[in-house]
Amino acid sequence: MPAIASRILKLITVIFLMTFANTLIARTKVEGLLYLTKKPVSVEIEDGMIVRIREVKRLSDPHPVFIAPGLIDNQVNGFAGVSFCFAGGELTREGIFKATQELWKKGVTTYLPTLTTNTKEVLKHNLALLSDSKNDSALLGSIAGFHLEGPYISPIDGYRGAHPLKYVRKPDWNEFMELYEASGKNIKTITIAPELDGAMEFIRKCTAMGIVVAIGHHNATREIIEEAVLNGARISTHLGNGCANTINRHVNPLWPQLANDKLMASIICDGFHLRDEEITVFYKIKGPDKTIITSDVTSFAALPPGEYKNEEGETIILTKEGMLRLPAQNVLYGSASPISRGVARILKITGCSLGEAIRMSSTNPSKLYGLSDRGVIETGKRADLILFEIGDSELVIKKTYVKGKLVYEAQQ
């Protein structure tokens, strides 16, 4: 019996040591200056999750960088030549993966592919393809759901923005349910003009389903905006844009959205969509808890300056400064700047802290869209992390981790 007991004890010891060794091998350490405190920390990762965070006296890297949760972008129309909106079979699985990889390089670890105003057939086709690709293991869960911006928006020039007039229409619940089913029930948010016929009932139904309703590309009165909020609308899509160039100084859709404390606001801080003083005012009113930094990037982002054609055959100009515009309508055509630029700009313009800037570009969207496993650096959360420096015009991403996997490392 003693011999048997001894062998059992040895076996247990071997199993324990092997398990312990495997744990050590599987655990990854990432170091940096914590975005909230600017103190050096070590973040330990295991099986894609954060398992330990501890302050350290010094970092091994003589040139320390900041560490923060990955950026979460709620409005990505496309990226690096890939469009989520175009028809004609242009969107492919390979394209979705390419766009995701390029976004990782900009520190975006989670995003909502955004489909804008188009035919029902195009929207269904692209939503279905995105749904089929969403859970691909290669994407590491970076696609959290989809943003449908339109087609239920204002048909009025200016408020409509660059959305094609011929596809703009009133809310249609039966059509929307077809789109929702095609998306695999993954439409997470929808932007709608609340003044349209049937909009209030539409907002109520979406809210009941857990879909985040945003108001945008609209010319609603204060009363209509307040009613929309009472029915469940929670955020203004790219506040200050999707608006006519000439508006009444007192009676316009901007003031009531700013005044309503129950409305969050997403803002584009690329240097073209809003002037610095607008960003400052919006930030002062909404504060870091009710502001979300978004990009509104399109397929033309990360491409060289020049002239391009959109799906309608219209000329799109991407300037050397980074402005993307549609000359025929004298409007901006989305953005060519990633959200990492917006984070750096709001830091510079408002004087907010780095912690507040990351809150607006990661923590807030994670809360709004129910992504409770990300958006902060805490034990038990997904190890979606970025290591970066703060440049003059954007965050300079050094490394990006998605679910604990190093998906991007800048060349030295």
Facing residues of 194 across strands? none
Q: How far apart are the first and last CA of the chain?
A: 62
Strand pairing of 331-332 and 385-390? unpaired
Residues 6 or more apart whose CB falls under 8 angstroms from that of 324 comprise 272, 298, 300, 301, 316, 317, 318, 332, 333, 334, 335, 336
Asked if 99 and 298 count as a contact pair (C-beta separation under 8 A), the reply is: no
DSSP labels, 253-287 = SHHHHHH-TT-EEEEE-SSSSS-HHHHHHHHHHHT
What CA dihedral angle connects 208, 213, 219 and 224, to 10 degrees?
30
Each residue's pLDDT expressed in tens, for the chain with a length of 412 residues: 456 656 655 656 555 555 554 444 569 999 999 999 999 999 999 999 999 999 999 887 778 899 999 999 999 999 999 999 886 668 999 999 999 999 999 999 999 999 999 999 999 999 999 999 999 999 999 999 999 999 999 999 999 999 999 999 999 999 999 999 999 999 999 999 999 999 999 999 999 999 999 999 999 999 999 999 999 999 999 999 999 999 999 999 999 999 999 999 999 999 999 999 999 999 999 999 999 999 999 999 999 999 998 878 889 999 999 999 999 888 889 999 999 999 999 999 999 999 999 999 999 999 999 999 999 999 999 999 999 999 999 999 999 999 999 999 999 7
Which two structure tokens, joined as six digits, stand for 346?
Answer: 């709001």
Q: Which phi and psi (to 5°) does residue 237 adopt? A: -80, 130
Q: Could you tell me the domains of the chain?
A: 70-371 (3.20.20.140)
